[in-house]
Amino acid sequence: MPDDEFPFSARVAQLGGGVALRALAATWRFRVVGGEAIESLRAAGKPFIFSLWHGQLLPLIWHHRGEGVAILVSEHRDGELIARVARAMGYRLIRGSTTRGGERALLRLVRELKAGAEVAVTPDGPKGPARRYASGALVAAQRSGAAILPIAAHADRAWNLSSWDRFMIPEPFARVTVAYGPPTHVVAGTSRAAIAQAPAFEALMKETERVACG
């Protein structure tokens, strides 16, 4: 969205929010569990899909800032602020939704993965239902052959917004645990068969969250 179409109030919020976020996030203390999963993928030069719940987006995009990951962000206006903050943190953007007529976004995801990139997807975004695994990441993994890497975050002190995803904002000096699950491939001959694996991947995400919560 061009600047002249982005409301002035939202641009002010972006500037102020960016400064506040950096000041807040600089106080967070991170602990990583299961880091060998991502290390092995990167050592082998293999593309993969970060799979994270929308409500845990903030500490996770901070933790992986500056790594050149491509992140899928909704084209809705409420996704514009997230997009601009993510870009400022060094993310590359894929705009659109793979679950709402977003074949173009899905094709872009697959293209990035086949080129060897790392991408991040919130399978319950952009509007929920929370913690329900939608089709986009599964189909992208099936078409590209890339693994899905579950990732979860837990903060010992956090504010949770009254939004559909209970969006988490770790408090100052919070201890944030980032957990990685096992890299998992979608073994399916068709997109429909890939989508049918959603319950299994929801279970993987649930287990990764359990590990993050300690």
Q: What is the CA radius of gyration of the chain?
A: 16
What CA–CA distance (Å, rounded) separates 89 from 58? 11
Q: What is the residue extent of each domain of the chain?
A: 3-213
pLDDT at 183: 98
CATH architecture for segment(s) 3-213 = 3-Layer(aba) Sandwich (3.40)
pLDDT tens digit at each of 214 positions of the chain: 444 443 434 443 444 457 788 899 999 999 999 999 999 999 999 999 999 999 999 999 999 999 999 999 877 665 677 787 888 889 999 987 665 546 888 999 999 999 999 999 999 978 889 999 999 999 999 999 999 999 999 999 999 999 999 999 999 999 999 999 999 999 999 999 999 999 999 999 999 999 999 8
Peptide bond into 129 cis (omega under 30): yes
Q: Which residues pair with 180 in a beta bridge?
A: 151
pLDDT at 15: 44
pLDDT at 1: 42
